[in-house]
Amino acid sequence: MTGLAWFRLNRELSSWRSLGVKPRLWWRDDDARDATEALDRLLRAAAGMPLSLAVIPHGARPSLAQRLTRAGNVTVSQHGVDHQNHLGSGDRAGEYPAGTAAGRIAVHIRKGEQYLQQCGLSARFYTPPWHRISAQLAEALPIAGYRDLSGWNGDEAACCIGLNRLDVHVDLLRWKGPPRFRGSDRVLDDVRAQLAQRRTEGCLTQPIGLLTNHLALDAKAWDFLGWFLDYARPRFEIGGYYDFLNEAAPSHLFDRPGILRDHAIGGQEKNSLHHGLRHKNAIEGIGMKGRQPADSDRMLSGHG
């Protein structure tokens, strides 16, 4: 850390204090399957701070559920189904090839939920692998019982009309080549830029999402994470996914925070949705998730 990025971030936070407002922060970690030493380290770093854990259903182990029974601060999301890239080389990674029907995707997602239930876990919302959100996936989620999801920084927002969405915006890692820490200055500058955007646009209640991957963090990333969480606790209003969901989206997409504007559905989209709904009866026991805050979604507000 050079000090310059830290200085700029402190100056931006000073501007927020002059407004009498604390910025909001939430945290999501991806790719959990088992109770590992890295997960234990993550939970120790959280020290009770609300944490959303995106769990890959295929291969998830009961030991993960057993470990999380001792972590009341954690909310689980379903992280795809198998987290395998089924698209062609050269295309952006994703679980579902282009043109896969919404009904077929919904059946697959429901199968993933059954994997989670078999190992003792229950997911509250959906986090697509690689943040790949297609129109068909967005149509499939309500069929599979999900209304709430998390993506990346507003990407593909047009696909998500009618869904509740809280995104992450700041990633500790870079993913070109082997995953590695992006560097303190880059991460702090990203946080500052997100803060400045919200302050200048008057969107002071919209939270910033921090993204980690406990299995891929290197030594420098772990050191920075511990430092940043200690730094953030007294300076941010920290909450869980359902604490902040209503304040999630950019103001130009909403009539009011958390409520997307209506839009016309084209004929092709209508036909795709109808095709998906025809498969709904093939999915048993669906109950719509979301909106009711879990006990783990407790607000943690810093002081000072």
Does position 128 have pLDDT exceeding 60, yes or no? Answer: yes
Does position 304 have pLDDT exceeding 60, yes or no? Answer: no
Classify 181 as helix, strand or coil: strand
Task: Tell me the pLDDT tens digit for each residue of 218-274.
Answer: 999 999 999 999 999 999 999 999 999 977 654 333 332 332 323 222 333 333 333
pLDDT value at position 87?
Answer: 72
| Average pLDDT over all residues of the chain | 84
Q: What pTM was estimated for this model as a whole?
A: 0.83
Domains of the chain: 4-285 (3.20.20.370)
Q: Which residues pair with 301 in a beta bridge?
A: 237
Does position 81 have pLDDT exceeding 90, yes or no? Answer: yes
Mind giving me the DSSP string for 204-256? Answer: TTPPEEEEE-TTT--HHHHHHHHHHHHHHTTTSEE--HHHHGGG-S-GGGEEE
Distances in Å between the Cα of 259 and the Cα atoms of 16, 109, 163, 251, 254 are 26, 25, 9, 10, 6
Distances in Å between the Cα of 55 and the Cα atoms of 8, 75, 103, 119, 125 are 35, 10, 22, 11, 11
Does position 148 have pLDDT exceeding 80, yes or no? Answer: yes
pLDDT value at position 246?
Answer: 78
Task: Tell me the pLDDT tens digit for each residue of 180-215.
Answer: 999 999 999 999 999 999 999 999 999 999 999 999
CB atoms within 10 A of CB 33: 19
Task: Tell me the pLDDT tens digit for each residue of 153-167.
Answer: 988 887 888 899 999
Classify 69 as helix, strand or coil: coil
The amino acid occupying position 250 is P
pLDDT value at position 227?
Answer: 97
